[in-house]
Amino acid sequence: MTTSAAANSLFSDVPHTPGAPKRDPILIADDVVRRFGGLTAVDVEHLEIQRGAITALIGPNGAGKTTFFNLLTGFDRPDAGRWTFHGHQVSGQPPFRIARAGLVRTFQLTKALTRLSVIENMRLGATDQTGERAWRAVLPWLWNKQERALTERADELLARFKLDHMRDEYAGELSGGQRKLLEMARALMAEPTMVMLDEPMAGVNPALTQSLLEHVKDLRNLGMTVLFVEHDMDMVRDISDWVVVMAEGRVVSEGPPDAVMSDPAVIDAYLGTHHDAPLTEAEEERQLAEIESSLYPDEPTPESSSQGSGDAAGSDDVDHSDEADAAASAGDADNADDAEEADDSDHAQQQTDSTRTQEMKASEASTRGEAR
């Protein structure tokens, strides 16, 4: 069993730098590139994922996280690059072979899957990812035995994920959180050694949040490796042993959650301070609204709800909280012109703070999970 403390100790001597070598990597990717027309969606030079730990993959919208997930699991083909899993080259392999090697991912329930029952979805979890459907045609008696074993395993998992009472219901009847549990349970049907979860908290009702977090921790505690993409920074802080940050297709930072969230490169990536021109106030507001909505896609911001305004993503409705202003000023910290512009604001004092303090406040604004 791998506890949180044990997992943390795996990283004790790992440098906090992009591409850092791990003590015992289960997955190693090199020079992975995926282009869509003129856009380079993924350009990962080197990445190692530590075995037996929970690693979060975060980054602003469009950073390339999902594309990278699709590549690693064989659901998309790279323009260049290679990666190994458990020491075996799996780049270029179809998804079922990669799953057979022990690397599986969760899927959002498609429309078709919502029309199947929960137990049927579970059985598909094994067959879809491992390609065992071939058995049915070739050796039907063996298939029957196999199918009974699969159903037994499915029922055990449904009980573990507290979905057994929904066993024969259409998956479409499940709540958002229950669907996430089903996605996770279904992935486990393939008996993986590494599970990749794509936004496990998206659309999850707060009542099920804790249960989901515990299930993810359980995967690690049972010896599995977990890599998950997530925008919810509460979850990232709560359960990650290690965080990898992508921006514009590249890995820009790695480290434990707290270190990563105060890394200027990460703040820069989220605030987009790589722009050459100083930000206009409207652009600044738009970017802050985008960060807010990407971190908390289902919630109105406290600012917007206290003013009775609607969607946090609508930049017209966004007000500047203290933290948001701090974020904006830190976002502009590299730019002397912007510092001048801020002189007449209520937060002139913040402009005289050290860059470090501003960055930390910006980080809090970007990861405002604790305040909610």
Ligand X SMILES: Nc1ncnc2c1ncn2[C@@H]1O[C@H](COP(=O)(O)OP(=O)(O)OP(=O)(O)O)[C@@H](O)[C@H]1O
Show the tokens assigned to 270: 């989220």
- Dist. CA 9–CA 323, nearest whole Å: 33
Cα–Cα distances in angstroms (integers) from residue 142 to residues 135, 137, 322, in the given order:
7, 10, 65
CA angle 193/181/372 to nearest 5° reads 110
- DSSP bridge partners of 33: 43, 80
Tell me whether strands 194-198 and 242-247 are parallel, antiparallel or unpaired. Answer: unpaired
- Please, are residues 18 and 43 in contact by the beta-carbon 8 Å criterion? no
Cα–Cα distances in angstroms (integers) from residue 229 to residues 24, 59, 202, 241, in the given order:
21, 9, 10, 14
Show the tokens assigned to 118: 């929960």
Show the tokens assigned to 73: 């699991």
Q: Contacts with ligand X: how many residues (CB under 6 A)?
A: 11
Minimum Å distance from CB 160 to ligand X?
Answer: 29
State the CB neighbour count (10 A cutoff) for residue 361. Answer: 22
Binning the chain into helix, strand and coil, the percentages to the nearest 5 are 50, 15, 35
Choose between 217 and 231: whose C-beta lies nearer to ligand X: 231
Q: Both ends of the chain: CA-CA distance in Å? A: 32
Minimum Å distance from CB 62 to ligand X?
Answer: 4
Minimum Å distance from CB 135 to ligand X?
Answer: 33
Minimum Å distance from CB 314 to ligand X?
Answer: 18
- Dist. CA 109–CA 365, nearest whole Å: 32
Choose between 190 and 204: whose C-beta lies nearer to ligand X: 204
Choose between 232 and 241: whose C-beta lies nearer to ligand X: 232
Choose between 39 and 149: whose C-beta lies nearer to ligand X: 39
Minimum Å distance from CB 293 to ligand X?
Answer: 11
Minimum Å distance from CB 252 to ligand X?
Answer: 12
Show the tokens assigned to 358: 């501003």
From the list 36-44, 92-100, 297-305, 345-353, the region that binds ligand X by CB under 6 A is: 36-44
Choose between 55 and 67: whose C-beta lies nearer to ligand X: 67
- Dist. CA 100–CA 259, nearest whole Å: 35
Give, as ranges, the residues between 323 and 342 that touch ligand X (CB under 6 A): none
Choose between 131 and 297: whose C-beta lies nearer to ligand X: 297
x/- track of binding to ligand X for residues 51-90 (CB under 6 A) = --------x-xxxxxxx-----------------------
Minimum Å distance from CB 56 to ligand X?
Answer: 13
**CB-based contacts of 164: which residues, under 8 Å, 6+ apart?**
155, 158
Choose between 41 and 236: whose C-beta lies nearer to ligand X: 41
Minimum Å distance from CB 58 to ligand X?
Answer: 9
Give the one residue of 9, 39, 152, 222 binding ligand X; rule: CB under 6 A.
Answer: 39
Choose between 50 and 67: whose C-beta lies nearer to ligand X: 67
Choose between 8 and 61: whose C-beta lies nearer to ligand X: 61
Minimum Å distance from CB 176 to ligand X?
Answer: 17
**CB-based contacts of 119: which residues, under 8 Å, 6+ apart?**
151, 154, 155, 158, 167, 168
Give the one residue of 36, 80, 306, 314 binding ligand X; rule: CB under 6 A.
Answer: 36
- Dist. CA 47–CA 29, nearest whole Å: 5
Say whether residue 41 binds ligand X (CB under 6 A): yes
**CB-based contacts of 270: which residues, under 8 Å, 6+ apart?**
60, 291, 366
What residue ranges bind ligand X (CB under 6 A)? 36, 39, 41, 59, 61-67
